[in-house]
Copies of this chain bind each other. A is one copy, B any other.
Amino acid sequence: MSSRTPKPSDDEALQSGRRRATINDVARLAGVSKKTVSRVINRSPSVRPETREKIEAVIARYGYAPDPQARGLAFRRSFLIGLIYDNPNPQYVVNMQLGLLDGMRGSGFELVVHPCDRGSTTLVPDIRAFIERQKLFGVVLTPSVSEDEAVAEMLREIGCEYVRVASVAVDSEAHSIVTRDRHGGLLAGRHLAELGHRRVGFISGPDRFRSSHERRGGFEEGLKEHGVALAADCVAEGAYTFESGMEAAARLLALKDRPTAIFAGNDEMAAGVLHAARRAGLSVPGDLSVIGFDDFQIASRVWPPLTTIRAPTREIGRLAADRLLGVTEGDKRDPEWRLPSLVVRDSTAAPGKQEP
């Protein structure tokens, strides 16, 4: 009996569930010191099996769960994980959140969201304040902030756990989750080349996104396998937004020798391409094939439904959470399962072919 005896009404409240059990209650009811209970909670090996069982029985009986705040105070670290992102696409954000939550389920951790502005001059201090204020256990960064070295540097400096999701390894293996966008681009290139397209266009994302370059690189590689080259005048820079896709497509479609197919860096821009094609009086896929990237909901909502590259964002999120929490099981699975894959719908066809 380590702490002072409680008032009788206290135990009553405990029984009825009106009061949550604390470590002191468990210690008292199990006839051990709170430190020993703490050892059981933290899976310390130096507890005799009988003692452990006795304590675990009390824990189960009263549904005791340690208070993360108190634990965090002593550990100097909270049980919160932050998602730091600047990608404005709602579907990306939500899928990532869902994936992270998948991986965090049952761990006792919670997810705190933190959108940010990569262009802000106070980006690094803002993120730092966010982390230090709540003493976050760790953070997950997604493109494009995940590609910011100043941010990563700061995270190392303050000793915060982190995982960077990016299209290529931008950090040590322990700190990166690679989405392999290059492979997605490759599939897009192959698909168009196999359909017989020879003059193809590409609309990239913004330069600061690593994925813009990876998707393009893979695309060129896929084309090349079939002897097709991406002409310089058939490349336009977009901003991963619908409007930018529309504008970039308008430029490409105004070319004297316009491409018969366009690979847009994401679905949003691909939707913009569809609008531009319609304005130009071109039918898709009859006069122009269009392929997107992401396979977000929009891909199947537009007309014609978009052929696109499915990026397993939710699965990537799950993996990121696993990594942060030290679960390594997920990493061992066949890496193929988290590779981008081709989803063929109705926006691509052989060049010159009429719609059915």
Give the docked Cα–Cα distance between A157 and B265 (Å): 51
Smallest CB gap from A78: residue in B: B69
Instruction: Tell me whether A80 and B112 are in contact (CB under 8 A).
Output: yes
Instruction: Tell me whether B112 and A110 are in contact (CB under 8 A).
Output: yes
Contacts of A115 in B (CB 8 A): 97-98, 101
User: Shortest distance in angstroms between A97's beta carbon and chain B's nearest beta carbon?
Assistant: 6
Give the docked Cα–Cα distance between A275 and B345 (Å): 14
Give the docked Cα–Cα distance between A26 and B301 (Å): 58
A300 interface residue, CB < 8 Å from B?
A: yes
What is the interface residue range for chain A against chain B?
Answer: 35 or more
Give the docked Cα–Cα distance between A73 and B75 (Å): 14
A108 interface residue, CB < 8 Å from B?
A: yes
Contact with B along A272-297 (1 / 0, CB 8 A): 00110010000000000000000001
Give the docked Cα–Cα distance between A79 and B80 (Å): 12
Smallest CB gap from A243: residue in B: B300
Known: A112-B112, A113-B111, A297-B242. A94 touches B90 (CB 8 A): yes
Smallest CB gap from A72: residue in B: B69
User: Shortest distance in angstroms between A299's beta carbon and chain B's nearest beta carbon?
Assistant: 10
Give the docked Cα–Cα distance between A93 and B97 (Å): 11
Contacts of A43 in B (CB 8 A): none
Contact with B along A1-30 (1 / 0, CB 8 A): 000000000000000000010000000000
8 Å CB contacts to B: which residues of A104-138?
108, 110-115, 130, 132-135
A95 interface residue, CB < 8 Å from B?
A: yes
Instruction: Tell me whether A67 and B110 are in contact (CB under 8 A).
Output: no
Contact of A93 among B78, B94, B297 (CB under 8 A): B94
16 pairs, CB–CB < 8 Å, chain A vs chain B: A65-B133, A68-B134, A80-B110, A90-B93, A90-B95, A93-B94, A97-B115, A110-B114, A110-B133, A111-B112, A111-B113, A112-B112, A268-B297, A275-B301, A297-B298, A298-B301
